[in-house]
Amino acid sequence: MLSRETSRAGAWRWLGVLVLLVAVAPVVHRYLVAYPDDQWQVDLEVYREAGRSLLLGRPVYQFETEVPQLLPFTYPTFSAVLSIPLALLPWAVAGWVWTAFQLALLWVVVGLAFGPLLARAGRFAGLAHGVVAAACAWISPVGENIRFGQVNAILVTLCLLDLLRGADGLRLGRFTLRWPRGALVGVAVAIKLTPGVFLVHFAITRQWRELRNAVLAAVGVTVATFLVAPEGSLEFWTSALLNSDRLGPNAGSSNQSLRGFVLRLYLSDGATTAVWGVLALAAAVAGYALARRLHRRGSLVGEVAACGVVALLVSPVSWLHHYLWGVVVLGAVVGDARVRSRAVAAVVGLVLLWVAWPWWGANLLASRSVPTVLARVVQNGDLWWACASLVVMWRLLTRHTEDQSRVVTDWSRSV
């Protein structure tokens, strides 16, 4: 009887995977088939060339991709080490493999973030998983990650897995993968510095063991990378890290952090720094207060979501694809969907993320068909979404005592 139920659950799971693949096919076709060659997977090319730099012995942070992009590598050297397998693949193959990997991680993130909702579907959980993942596949940040070949899905997955499954592990068939809670956050920090917001959260909430594990993992990986690639590591920590111009035009529409918003006000340098500092401090205080409160309530998905939003708001640069944290926010808000206000808020948030507000706003500015102030408001649409998400999570996730985001099911253990 058990094997029959397991077989049926597996069939529904594969049907869910098929739903996701069908839904995301137009997005994949647009960015991997119909897109111009000189715009194809431009960030993946940066990662791949960083891996090639290590293999060829050329400077990791001085090499730039070919015209017209001319993009340098900006991440910690550990990311370049992880990119070596990509460097060994043919370029066209690497793009498709990386996209498939991103979709697999989206499946994992949805399974974790929407665990209580999927559990309500019972034996149809696999199909429900695919439907929710398909809806999330069409939000702007997911499309941007596929378009550029970005790394954000790895960071979100590591942090979400760590806080939700660090104590219980992840079931892989007959085996359960375990790690010290906090360690995966440390690995994420070694890949890219923005998940460092979780280290501050661990300290605020006095999760000392998690903080210790995260720091040890980040330092251990970084020291090991120094041994493997000493020149690149030294250059990153002494010069490349301090040069924000390497990240591109910080005032462009695609930078949806608070700093990007302030830069687009075109104030003096001193005023820009002061205003950004005040806004970033306010966002950090509000975001960490929310994360602390959700931690105390046991709302693990909400805890991760709040920290992710803090990263989006206070980072000097938050590109559109960084808003992949929005998937976690949606999962935290909807919970198990028994509370109507939470379900409605999640649907509204999903629909709003389907719209590429920054690009729309930039087009309005260029055409001058609407007042500049209104165009600027639209241009900062993702930023407003992030700010609103903190308010929505505070009002909805801290109000209802029936929050189910700590619920661990057999389904969500083996996503």
Helix (H) or strand (E) holding 175: strand 175-177
Amino acid present at 181: R
CA distance 201 to 14: 37
Assigned domain for 255 exists: yes
Assigned domain for 162 exists: no
Assigned domain for 174 exists: no
Q: Which of 83, 68, 69, 51 is nearest to 60 (CA)?
A: 51
CA distance 284 to 31: 35
Assigned domain for 114 exists: no
CA distance 125 to 151: 28
For the chain, what is the domain count? 1
pLDDT, mean over the chain: 92
| Burial class of residue 99 in the structure, from the number of CB atoms within 10 Å of its CB (0-12 exposed, 13-18 middle, 19+ buried) | buried
Domain assignment of residue 268, given as a range: 248-408
In the chain the first and final C-alpha atoms are separated, in Å, by: 22
For 233-258, write each residue's pLDDT tens digit. 999 999 888 776 666 678 899 999 99
Assigned domain for 336 exists: yes
Helix, strand, coil share (%) of the chain residues, nearest 5: 75, 0, 25
CA distance 50 to 54: 7
Assigned domain for 402 exists: yes
Residue 327's contacts (CB-CB under 8 Å, 6 or more residues apart) are 106, 109, 110, 113, 136, 139, 141, 142, 156
pLDDT of residue 404: 45
Helix (H) or strand (E) holding 307: helix 300-314
Mean pLDDT of 97-111: 98
For 265-276, write each residue's pLDDT tens digit. 999 999 999 999
Assigned domain for 228 exists: no
The answer to whether the Cα torsion of 386, 74, 160, 222 is positive or negative is: negative
The band of 415, judged by pLDDT with boundaries at 50, 70 and 90, is low
Residue 119's contacts (CB-CB under 8 Å, 6 or more residues apart) are 125, 336, 407, 409, 411, 412
pTM assigned to the model? 0.94
For 156-211, write each residue's pLDDT tens digit. 999 999 999 987 877 777 788 889 999 999 999 999 999 999 999 999 999 999 99
Planar angle of CA 394, 398, 404, nearest 5 degrees: 120
For 1-14, write each residue's pLDDT tens digit. 446 666 777 889 99
pLDDT of residue 170: 78
Assigned domain for 364 exists: yes
> What is the per-residue DSSP string for 265-289?
TT--HHHHHHHHHHHHHHHHHHHHH
Q: Which of 105, 121, 147 is nearest to 20 (CA)?
A: 105
DSSP SS3 for 398: coil
Q: To 10 degrees, what angle do helices 300-314 and 91-113 make?
A: 130
For 373-383, write each residue's pLDDT tens digit. 999 999 999 99
CA 303 from centroid of its chain's CA atoms: 15
For 24-48, write each residue's pLDDT tens digit. 999 999 999 999 988 999 999 999 9
DSSP SS3 for 293: helix
Contact 299, 400 (CB under 8 A): no
